[in-house]
C-alpha cells in the first residue's frame, strides 16, 4: 500500500519532499463507517482538531490517519484509574477533586483530572496536595477492588489478542498484527471497539495509542487524554519527535535528563543530529537506545508475560519513629504480608530489601543476598532486622518498607540440608533405650547419598533456565 502521511513535510532516504495533499483512512466509532478523505493540512495530535467529523452520522470523534490500516502495536492506559473507579461507585464525587492515598503523611497514589488542574500529581506528598487543592476529597486506596476491575479490562483485551504485555494493573501493550485474521477488522477498528466496550461495561474511560512499535504507542496514548485515541505512523515519526523534550523518551529519568541538558541536549531532535558512536561513547548503552528511539525505531516485541522483579510492602507513619523496638514491630508486620504474598503467588526471593525514608525525605535502601531463595517469614525478618539495626543512629524515619527481589519459583526455595537430616536421623536411631546398654546399641548401615543428592545440596543452582526464543530483529539493534 502506498505510504501516506498527515504532515506536509516527509523525511525519506533521498531527503525532504513537499506533499500538497494527504490521503487519510478514517473510521467512525459510533456508526463504524469507513471512508477515505484528502486533506491539505496535517491533523494535530491532540485536542478536538485531532479527530474528523463523520459524513454519515455526524459524530465528531472519527479517527483518521494515512497509515491506519497498517499500525498494529497498541498501548491502553486507563484514565486516572483509581479515582475513576471511586467516582463510578460514588456519583456524588463526579465533579469533585478526588485524591487517592495521602492519609496524614503519605503520598498521592493518583488523582482525578479535576485535581490535576490544581497541580496535584501522583507521588506528591499529601501535605503539598492539600495546599494546592484544599477542597479535595481524600480516599484510602481499595486495591482489591482496583485489581478486580483491572483484570476485567485485561480480559477484554485478551478477547482481541493473546499478545498482551501488562505494565501495571491499569495499562498494557497489545500486538494486533493478526487482527484481520482473527476478527476481520484492522487493529484500529478493534481498539476503537475495545475503548467503547470498557466505557460501557466497566464504567471508566481508557486512552489508546496506536503505532508500529511500543515506544511510539506509549507516547501516543498520552497525547489526547482522557478518552483519547492517537496514532503515530512511520512516515511522520521523525518529524513528530523532533521538537519533543528528551524526558518523553523511555529510560530518560530526572538524572539522565539533567545530564543531557548539561550537554546542551533538550529536545529529541538534537539527539537525531548526533552520531550513534558519539552518543554511545558519552552515555554508554543507553546512548545507543537514545539514537534509535529518537528516530522512531524500537525492536522490542510485545511479550505475552513479564516476570515480576520484586515484591514488597511498606507503610508511612503518622509520626516519625526512631526507636529500634517500634521499627522492629512495624517490620514484623510488613514481613508477614510479604511472606503471605510469596506463598500465595508461589514465588521466593533471593535478596531481602529494606527501605527507609527519613523525616527530611531522604531514602535509604539496603539489601542482603541470601544463600538461597526463601519464602520463609522468619528468614526474611531476621535479614531485614539485621539491616535495620545498622540504620539505628538517631535518625527519625517516616516510612519503612520490607521486600524481596531476585525472584524464583517456590520449588527452588529453602533447600533441604541433606547432611543435617542425616545427622539427626543417626542421633535418633542410635540413642539407647531404657533396656539397652551402650554396648547393645544398633550399628546403622547408613545409605550413601547419591551423586545427584550431593550435587543438589552442595552446588545447587538457583537460576531458572528457560529456553531462549531466537527472534528475528525488526531493526538494526
The residues that are catalytic are 171
Question: Quick check: helix, strand or coil at residue 16?
Answer: strand
What gap in Å lies between CA 372 and CA 413, rounded to an integer? 7
Cα torsion 8, 11, 13, 15: sign = positive
Helices (H), 365-413: 377-389
Q: Mutual orientation of helices 143-158 and 187-201 as an angle, nearest 10°?
A: 150
Measured in residues, the chain has a length of 477
What gap in Å lies between CA 66 and CA 40, rounded to an integer? 13
Q: If we measure between CA atoms, which residue out of 200, 191, 225 comes closest to residue 50?
A: 225
Burial of residue 394, with CB atoms counted within 10 A of its CB: 0-12 exposed, 13-18 middle, 19 or more buried: exposed
| Residues whose CB is less than 8 angstroms from the CB of residue 390 and which lie 6 or more positions away in sequence, other chains included | 366
How many CA atoms does the CB half-sphere of 437 hold within 13 Å? 1
Q: How many CB atoms lie within 10 A of CB 130?
A: 15
Bridge partners of 355, per DSSP, are 365, 401
Three cell numbers written together for 195: 475503548
Three cell numbers written together for 229: 485515541
Answer whether 288's CB lies under 8 Å from 279's CB.
yes
Three cell numbers written together for 374: 526463601
What gap in Å lies between CA 314 and CA 143, rounded to an integer? 14
Amino acid at each position: 500500500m502506498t505510504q501516506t502521511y498527515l504532515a506536509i513535510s516527509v523525511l525519506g532516504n533521498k531527503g525532504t519532499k513537499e506533499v500538497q495533499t494527504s490521503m487519510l483512512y478514517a473510521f467512525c466509532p459510533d456508526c463504524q463507517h469507513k471512508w477515505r478523505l484528502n486533506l491539505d493540512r496535517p491533523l494535530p495530535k491532540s485536542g478536538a482538531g485531532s479527530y474528523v467529523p463523520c459524513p454519515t452520522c455526524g459524530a465528531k470523534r472519527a479517527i483518521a490517519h494515512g497509515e491506519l490500516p497498517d499500525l498494529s502495536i497498541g498501548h491502553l492506559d486507563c484514565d486516572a484509574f483509581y479515582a475513576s473507579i471511586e467516582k463510578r461507585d460514588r456519583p456524588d464525587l463526579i465533579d469533585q477533586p478526588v485524591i487517592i492515598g495521602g492519609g496524614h503523611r503519605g503520598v498521592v497514589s493518583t488523582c482525578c483530572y479535576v485535581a490535576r488542574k490544581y497541580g496535584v500529581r501522583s507521588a506528591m506528598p499529601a501535605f503539598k496536595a492539600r495546599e494546592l487543592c484544599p477542597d479535595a476529597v481524600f480516599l484510602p486506596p481499595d486495591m482489591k477492588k482496583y485489581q478486580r476491575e483491572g483484570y476485567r479490562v485485561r480480559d477484554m483485551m485478551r478477547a482481541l489478542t493473546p499478545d498482551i504485555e501488562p505494565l501495571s494493573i491499569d495499562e498494557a501493550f497489545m500486538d494486533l498484527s493478526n487482527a484481520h485474521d482473527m476478527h476481520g477488522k484492522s487493529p484500529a477498528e478493534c481498539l476503537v471497539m475495545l475503548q467503547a466496550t470498557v466505557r460501557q461495561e466497566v464504567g471508566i474511560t481508557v486512552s489508546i495509542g496506536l503505532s508500529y512499535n511500543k515506544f511510539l504507542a506509549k507516547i501516543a496514548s498520552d497525547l489526547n487524554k482522557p478518552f483519547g485515541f492517537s496514532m503515530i505512523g512511520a512516515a511522520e515519526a521523525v518529524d513528530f519527535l523532533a521538537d519533543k523534550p528528551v524526558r518523553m523518551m523511555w529510560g530518560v529519568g530526572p538524572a539522565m535528563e539533567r545530564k543531557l541538558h548539561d550537554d546542551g541536549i533538550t529536545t529529541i531532535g538534537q539527539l537525531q543530529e548526533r552520531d550513534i558512536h558519539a552518543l554511545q561513547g558519552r552515555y554508554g548503552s543507553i546512548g545507543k537506545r537514545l539514537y534509535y528511539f529518537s528516530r522512531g525505531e524500537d525492536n522490542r516485541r510485545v511479550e505475552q508475560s513479564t516476570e515480576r522483579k520484586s515484591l514488597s510492602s511498606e507503610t508511612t507513619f503518622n509520626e516519625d519513629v526512631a526507636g529500634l523496638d517500634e521499627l522492629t514491630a512495624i517490620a514484623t508486620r510488613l514481613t508477614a504480608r510479604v511472606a503471605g504474598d510469596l506463598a500465595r503467588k508461589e514465588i521466593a526471593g533471593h535478596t531481602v530489601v529494606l527501605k527507609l525514608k527519613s523525616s527530611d525525605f531522604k531514602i535509604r535502601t539496603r539489601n542482603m543476598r541470601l544463600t538461597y531463595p526463601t519464602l520463609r517469614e522468619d528468614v526474611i525478618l531476621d535479614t531485614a532486622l539485621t539491616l535495620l539495626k545498622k540504620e539505628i543512629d538517631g535518625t527519625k524515619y517516616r516510612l519503612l518498607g520490607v521486600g524481596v527481589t531476585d525472584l524464583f519459583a517456590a520449588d527452588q526455595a529453602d533447600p533441604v540440608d541433606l547432611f543435617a537430616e542425616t545427622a539427626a536421623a543417626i542421633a535418633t536411631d542410635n540413642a539407647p533405650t531404657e533396656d539397652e546398654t551402650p554396648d547393645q546399641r544398633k550399628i546403622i548401615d547408613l545409605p550413601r547419598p547419591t551423586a545427584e543428592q550431593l550435587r543438589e545440596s552442595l552446588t545447587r543452582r538457583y537460576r531458572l533456565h528457560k529456553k531462549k526464543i531466537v527472534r528475528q530483529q525488526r531493526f538494526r539493534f
